[in-house]
Amino acid sequence: MQAIGETLFDVVYLISVITIGILMIRGSKGNRQFRLFGWMAVVLGAGDAFHLVPRALALCTTGLENYTVPLGLGKWITSVTMTIFYVLLYYVWRQRYKVQGKAGLTAIVYILAGMRILLCMMPQNQWLSAEAPLSWGIYRNIPFALLGLVIIVLFYRSAKIHEDKAFRWMWLTIVLSFAFYIPVVLWADAIPMIGMLMIPKTCAYVWTVLIGYFAMKRECR
């Protein structure tokens, strides 16, 4: 049952997010904000596919233990694409609220993203091993969490100041995604059932994408 249920969920998620992303790219009508949002959604779905497709194959065939290398490789790629996702979301914020300058803030975003990607590239992560160290899982997620915190604060403050009803819950979707993700990083290896939190985490990302899509439908007529 887990194999069927999880696989169906992942298929619906990947198709939905990538499709919405493509619709946003094509329907943005020259609006850079929504075109960026569309690419952001495509990056999210395409990156997650590298991990979720091997996982679905593993669940439906011989089990996760026989797919250690493709699962590890997929997790590695997803870690990088998720970082790019947040950098793109930062630029969506700049476009939506017509932010100029703030070179220092942009530098912080790039430094945190660069640190995250650099840490993901370190061999100590042992991505292709069944015994990947927890310590490196924590190290690489510290700059990632800080990057997420920056984006949360930016969207919360800007949506409130501009009374932006369309994006008023954007900050919350990111808070929820990290709230469900962090326990998985810390305890999923010891308590496998905690890995189920990836489902509501995924739903939070779908909510993020839908916020952008519905805003585009209202604003790009």
Q: What is the pLDDT of residues 26-69, one digit of tens each?
A: 998 889 999 999 999 999 999 999 999 988 888 888 877 888 89
Is 70 exceeded by the pLDDT of residue 147? yes
Q: What is the pLDDT of residues 107-126, one digit of tens each?
A: 999 999 999 999 999 999 99
Are the CB atoms for 155 and 174 separated by under 8 Å? Answer: yes
Structure tokens at 215: 């805003």
Amino acid (one-letter) located at 49:
A
Domain 2-219 has CATH 1.10.510.10: no
Is 80 exceeded by the pLDDT of residue 3? no
Is 80 exceeded by the pLDDT of residue 221? no
Buried b or exposed e, range 24-34, using 16+ CB within 10 angstroms? bbeebeebebb
Tracing tokens 């790629």 back to the chain, one arrives at 77
